[in-house]
Amino acid sequence: MALSGSHKDRGLRIHENLDELSTDLAFYIAELSEESVKERGVFSVALSGGSLIGLMGKLCEAPYNKTVDWTKWYVLWADERVVAKNHADSNYKLAKEGLFSKVPIVPSHVHSINDSVSAEEAADEYEFVIRQLVKSRVISVSDISDCPKFDLILLGMGSDGHVASLFPNHPVLDEKNEWVTFITDSPEPPPERITFTLPVINSAANVAVVVTGDSKANAVHLAVDDVGPECPLVPARMVQSTRGKPVWFLDKLAASKLDGFQFSE
């Protein structure tokens, strides 16, 4: 696989297959965890759902299951479906089965939403939880805004270019004041969700977007390449981090429509 230098400049980590991507993703997360624990004594990370948790699976294997200081992790969700924690659509359930049950994360450090209230109440309560974690310095405060500064926010992306539960052309994309907001009309089921807002995502120290499969290739092109104003503005294109652009973890199928991308045998 041949990559031009410009791909590396744009924060693209493109892999031949899912196994290579998972290996690199685990290394990246473990490195940030170690760096954060050394600097701050904790590691605050926000997860998403979908295929992301499965692709994080190598963190549960040697050496990371032993070398990562899991007791210093504080885990939240960049978005969550307002369903019971044992529901098939729950991002919490996905992460518990795929990650938490396999590594020694402290249960009280895992902050899930209150699924017994409305989406609006769940969002308000979750923002309060984050504010308490900021107050106790588990989560830093952004240097450029009053938003929380997570050490890492991990996102997937839909084929329509949505990230977290920020969907194209949805009013929540313009939310500037809330840290956590809600939707009741998700174009994908289930309809009721809570989501971090763009200012919170973009205040993180590090943001990684993990995308695989050819069904996402056009959205990756729209999010990453220098496309003209006639092209739709996908939510993923609006994502950045305090260090600049997000890091994109892509397999070669998801990267296949990027300008200048070619495979080498």
User: Is there a contact between 49 and 92 (Cβ–Cβ < 8 Å)?
Assistant: no
Look at strands 247-251 and 140-141 and give their pairing.
unpaired
| pLDDT single digits (tens) 64-77 | 999 999 999 999 99
Indicate the pTM of the whole model.
0.94
Cα within 13 Å of Cα(37), Cβ side: 14
Helix-strand-coil percent breakdown of the chain, rounded to 5?
35, 20, 45
Given a cut of 50, is residue 1 above it in pLDDT? no
Report the percent of the chain where pLDDT is more than 90. Answer: 86
Which helix (H) or strand (E) element contains residue 210?
A: strand 207-211
| pLDDT single digits (tens) 192-207 | 999 999 999 999 999 9
Go through 125-137 and write b for each residue having 16 or more CB atoms within 10 A of its CB, e for each that does not: ebbeebeebbeee
* Region of poorest pLDDT, from 41-50, 139-148, 205-214: 139-148
Give CA–CA dist 82/49, Å, rounded. 13
DSSP characters over 172-190? GGG--S-SEEEES--SSSS
| pLDDT single digits (tens) 117-174 | 999 999 999 999 999 999 999 999 998 888 999 999 999 999 999 999 999 999 999 9
User: Is there a contact between 94 and 102 (Cβ–Cβ < 8 Å)?
Assistant: no
Give CA–CA dist 155/47, Å, rounded. 7
Torsion angle defined by CA atoms of residues 228, 160, 205 and 142, in that order, rounded to the nearest 10 degrees: 90
Give CA–CA dist 185/174, Å, rounded. 16
Give CA–CA dist 141/217, Å, rounded. 34
| pLDDT at site 2 | 38
Given a cut of 50, is residue 3 above it in pLDDT? no
| pLDDT at site 240 | 85
For residue 192, the SS3 value is coil
Question: Pick from 28, 195, 44: which is nearest to 105 by CA?
Answer: 44
Give CA–CA dist 259/257, Å, rounded. 6
